[in-house]
Structure 1
Amino acid sequence: MDTRPLHYQSLLETSRALRAGETSSRAVTEVLLARISDLDGRFKSYIQVTREHALAQADAADTALAQGRSRGPLHGVPIAVKDLCCTTFAPTMAGMPVNDGFMSDHNATVVDRLETAGAVILGKLSMTEGAYTSHHPSIPTPLNPLNPDYWVGSSSTGSGTATSAGFCYASLGSDTGGSIRFPCATCGLTGLKPTWGRVSRHGVFDLAPSLDHVGPMARSAADCAAVLQAIAGYDPRDPTSLDAPVPDYMASLSDGVRDIRIGIDPAYALHGVDAPVKAAMEAAIDTFERLGARIVDVTMPPYEDLVAAWIMMCSVETAHVHTDTYPARAGEYGPDLVQLIEEGLATRGVDVARGHILRLEFSQALEAMLAGVDVMLCPTMPTGTPSLAQMETYGEEPEVLNAILRYTAPFDFSGSPTLTLPNGVSDDGMPTSMQIVGPLLSEALLLRAGVAYQSATGWHCMHPDLE
């Protein structure tokens, strides 16, 4: 039995306790709602708490369990969703005051699938404006519960804060340039950016549709697997979703990594990074070797020019997404999103064509490289968690964004699945993080490798002390 406080127990441990009758969904939901009420006024992770809706879902889950009916591991477990997922039971703003008061007449497919799986949805989580880099000036930025003086990531900020602080057992985030991975890295979480198209984006506000991914953020790889199981799969309402069978992600989680080939490119993964990041990566490589994995040298395809093109490629799609409200309502937009849209409007077609060709060449070369291994290992960021003061400095140095995107943007361009997980701490006590990257649709193997690593280490058990 997990001895951690109820709010820091794993999703799967809580699920087991519910099915065993050791607690009820209403009891667990009330504990988390009380915790949100007591603490989130400081941390600002929720933009909307759906208390009555959640309690009604919890009571329905309890009734079903009392009748011997369970919908699976999410049944009765409280989670939350990023506020770019449309919901009929709460407004959806996507971090943009231009959407203030918008009520959708349908749920996003991922929300429907979570509810079908029996999850209790506690509310909508705060995010940056339009899922770009910064919050609208009128919306408070969520704080990092491990240390409020440090960056909480971007753009799934509320998802990172709430999941880390024990305000939900898991959450949904989205990732266009690193927005699942950055908050997971800074808040000590585990997150899965699925293969592009593996999870439907129907009913999810776009930033840049060809780069956008929706995926789970949780406190362990096993918990991510449970959420992915519920939300993955073909959706005819999303023309970009993949019509591919969904495997049983839970079935192979305990199979280990013996004889799994893990690719490492030292020049990419170990050079040009801070000392704590390098040390944590080297320790993780040693751990995988002790677990029986085979470490194989690989060469990352050229990625620098593609990363440098990320803002441009994102900007042109974002400009297209906002044609209904920009420039007609430009005064309601924050400065950073305005700058992005304006760049998109000013970008030449020939430059977009060059970026598209770079993307195709990189994606093909990456898949060819990954064909020689099972997965690849690399950091999530070249540094540990930056302080807020450091991020203010970074904002004045445009080249720093490319350095931060070095380990995230390439895999948004390629659509490759990546599992982000904590792998150490820096001298300041803040987490370092790494990614396990795989070929398209290799989520089951990534999760299996993540579970093996987390079974041998305890970095994912690091929680904020907010008591």
Structure 2
Amino acid sequence: MEDELWSAEFTSLSDAIRSGRVTSLGLTELMLARIAEHDGRLHSYIAVAPEMALKSAMEADAEIAAGGWRGPLHGIPMAVKDVFYTMDIRTGFGSSMYDDFQAPYESTATARLRSAGAVMLGKLTATEGVYAGYHPSITEPVNPFGDAHWTGNSSSGSGVAVTSGLAYGTLGTDTGGSIRLPSACCGLTGIKPTWGRVSRHGVFPLAESLDHVGPMARSARDAAALLHAIAGADPSDPTAASVAVPDYMDGIDAGIGGLTIGIDRDFIIAKATPEVVASIDAVVPVLESLGARFVAVNFPETRPILYGWHTECSVEAALAHRDTFPARRSEYGERLSALLDFGHRVTAFELAEAQQARRAFNGAVAAMFAPIDLFLVPALPIAGPTLAHMATLGPDPDGILAVGPFNAPFDICGYPTITVPCGASSMGIPMAFQLAGKPFAEALLCRAAHAYQGVSDWHRRRPNL
């Protein structure tokens, strides 16, 4: 029974909690016990708050018993990436510089999680400043499917914790792939929503025009429930869209009959290894059998805008860190320092050129999407990349070109995507595909991913700890 509980999708436990067959306190004690048993090796948590979590779980049980059930997140133990302001759990942004930092307010996203009744277990390990490398004071999380393999950046602790049964769901951030990369490497379903779909108030930025907040979970249904809890307009974030939020769980079982999905096989073959190409080739007939129709499309050229991504990211990151960099340079790690130095060197001409390329790319993406409902691409160009391989990648932006050709473009245009497990590499590491949609098409993405997961079980695969 315990194995079934720790590995379950939380939406499958909601009715049991509501009826009293399972308690929030029992699930929270199970998560805390698993954290104590396994996280000394996995390093997914940077801070755990057991007393607070247990108190919240008891309060949830009492409220539910009194008929005050709030929805599918009520009483579910979760954790969030260490980039969200939380007033009762330390917030460190992946750096020792903020060891004494006290968040002055709660992030909108975590406040909405708590309002939905979620139990907060703690904060999850992230790369420094949610960029590409870990601060020297931080121990890198371990991929539970294989110690020698990459966990994905920068929401790495989030990916490790949820797949390992140390939390039932989490929130991550994505600037160049940081929800989707760890989701792919750890066998999770991750949603990078439309830019502005989720408030960024109280989320430390990497690059504000590229940053997205979204869920990482064990299934499309779980991810849909999480997204519904956090999405929507926010008076504290003027960039949060005022578009109405649908119930992403409503209609998730409707299937994908009649949908048109675009695919650019030349783009995939040019950027991905044969093993990844084969995984996508295997997904196509499954989606066709569910009623989708595939058409060939041409994805816009990515190389210029990936270089532009690095230019814009570096300048916006330098702006975000202007109070501490370069004044406290010695407290920064190597990778983030290099990005910020680059941002300080970018000229107005170079930035304008990147922005101009971005506008042209966004227009081309909109034109490509006009005749289709969804677009299929891999989540990663490499099947289960090893740490050794990642160490050989060149300095940015070449590293972005090597790892993010299927990720960063959708941060640049702000279109939503969902990452869905679809196999295992020759070394047993999860593999995944992405479906991208038009702006605010998250409900359709959840529906399509859920349809695929109804006839596959890759999303139910858990590591053997």
* Number of equivalences: 465
Q: Tell me how far 1:4 sits from its aligned partner.
A: 5.2
Distance 1:400 1:340 in 2: 12
Distance 1:449 1:197 in 2: 22
Match of 1:26? 25
In the alignment, structure 1 residue 358 sits paired with structure 2 residue 349: no
The aligned amino acid for 1:208 is A
Match of 2:420? 421
Match of 2:462? 463
Match of 2:315? 316
Distance 1:259 1:375 in 2: 12
Q: Identity rate of aligned residues, in percent?
A: 47
Q: Tell me how far 1:410 sits from its aligned partner.
A: 0.5
Q: Tell me how far 1:226 sits from its aligned partner.
A: 0.5
Tell me the SS of whatever aligns to 2:383.
coil
Q: Tell me how far 1:342 sits from its aligned partner.
A: 0.3
Match of 2:281? 282
Match of 1:170? 169
Match of 2:338? 339
Q: Tell me how far 1:319 sits from its aligned partner.
A: 0.5
Distance 1:22 1:328 in 2: 56
Evaluate the alpha carbon distance shift between residue 126 and residue 399 of structure 1 in structure 2; reply closer, same or farther with a 3 A threshold.
same
Evaluate the alpha carbon distance shift between residue 130 and residue 400 of structure 1 in structure 2; reply closer, same or farther with a 3 A threshold.
closer
Q: For the Cα contact (< 8 Å) 2:112–2:230, is it kept in 1? A: yes
The aligned amino acid for 2:224 is A
Tell me the SS of whatever aligns to 1:309.
helix
Q: Tell me how far 1:399 sits from its aligned partner.
A: 3.1
Q: Normalization by structure 1: what TM-score?
A: 0.98
Evaluate the alpha carbon distance shift between residue 122 and residue 273 of structure 1 in structure 2; reply closer, same or farther with a 3 A threshold.
same
Evaluate the alpha carbon distance shift between residue 203 and residue 15 of structure 1 in structure 2; reply closer, same or farther with a 3 A threshold.
same
Distance 1:164 1:268 in 2: 30
- 1:389-408 equivalences under 5 Å are 389-395=388-394, 399-408=398-407
Structure 1 residues without counterparts, runs of 5 or longer: none
The aligned amino acid for 1:460 is H
Q: For the Cα contact (< 8 Å) 2:310–2:397, is it kept in 1? A: no
Q: For the Cα contact (< 8 Å) 1:423–1:433, is it kept in 2? A: yes
Match of 2:87? 88
In the alignment, structure 1 residue 149 sits paired with structure 2 residue 148: yes
Distance 1:399 1:422 in 2: 26
Q: For the Cα contact (< 8 Å) 1:83–1:126, is it kept in 2? A: yes
Q: For the Cα contact (< 8 Å) 2:280–2:377, is it kept in 1? A: yes
- 1:244-283 equivalences under 5 Å are 244-283=243-282
Q: For the Cα contact (< 8 Å) 1:276–1:425, is it kept in 2? A: no
Tell me the SS of whatever aligns to 1:267.
helix
Distance 1:320 1:79 in 2: 32
In the alignment, structure 1 residue 107 sits paired with structure 2 residue 102: no
- 1:120-139 equivalences under 5 Å are 120-139=119-138
Q: Tell me how far 1:457 sits from its aligned partner.
A: 0.8
Distance 2:16 2:274 in 1: 41
The aligned amino acid for 1:385 is G
Q: For the Cα contact (< 8 Å) 2:384–2:427, is it kept in 1? A: no
Q: For the Cα contact (< 8 Å) 1:270–1:281, is it kept in 2? A: no
The aligned amino acid for 1:310 is W
Tell me the SS of whatever aligns to 2:132.
coil
Evaluate the alpha carbon distance shift between residue 442 and residue 427 of structure 1 in structure 2; reply closer, same or farther with a 3 A threshold.
same
Distance 2:158 2:271 in 1: 29
Distance 2:397 2:324 in 1: 28
The aligned amino acid for 2:268 is A
Q: Tell me how far 1:270 sits from its aligned partner.
A: 3.6
Match of 1:67? 66
- 1:154-233 equivalences under 5 Å are 154-233=153-232
Distance 1:319 1:398 in 2: 16
The aligned amino acid for 1:105 is P
CA RMSD of aligned residues (A): 1.3
The aligned amino acid for 1:323 is R
The aligned amino acid for 1:401 is I
1:68-95 alpha-carbon deviations (Å, 9 max, x no partner) = 1111000000111011000010111111
Q: Tell me how far 1:302 sits from its aligned partner.
A: 2.2
Q: Tell me how far 1:397 sits from its aligned partner.
A: 8.9
1:97-148 alpha-carbon deviations (Å, 9 max, x no partner) = 2212211121100010000000001100110000000110111001101111
Distance 1:387 1:436 in 2: 24
Q: For the Cα contact (< 8 Å) 1:44–1:143, is it kept in 2? A: yes
Distance 1:400 1:201 in 2: 26
The aligned amino acid for 2:382 is T
Evaluate the alpha carbon distance shift between residue 271 and residue 378 of structure 1 in structure 2; reply closer, same or farther with a 3 A threshold.
same
Distance 2:409 2:339 in 1: 19
1:390-416 alpha-carbon deviations (Å, 9 max, x no partner) = 111225796343121100110000011
The aligned amino acid for 1:170 is G
Q: Tell me how far 1:431 sits from its aligned partner.
A: 1.5
Distance 1:77 1:249 in 2: 18
Q: For the Cα contact (< 8 Å) 2:185–2:431, is it kept in 1? A: yes
Distance 2:100 2:2 in 1: 42
Match of 2:47? 48
1:308-331 alpha-carbon deviations (Å, 9 max, x no partner) = 222221100000110111111111
Tell me the SS of whatever aligns to 2:454.
helix
- 1:238-249 equivalences under 5 Å are 238-249=237-248
In the alignment, structure 1 residue 38 sits paired with structure 2 residue 28: no
Tell me the SS of whatever aligns to 1:5.
helix
The aligned amino acid for 1:241 is A
Q: For the Cα contact (< 8 Å) 2:180–2:419, is it kept in 1? A: yes
1:415-435 alpha-carbon deviations (Å, 9 max, x no partner) = 110001111111111111110
Q: For the Cα contact (< 8 Å) 1:309–1:355, is it kept in 2? A: yes
Q: Tell me how far 1:268 sits from its aligned partner.
A: 1.6
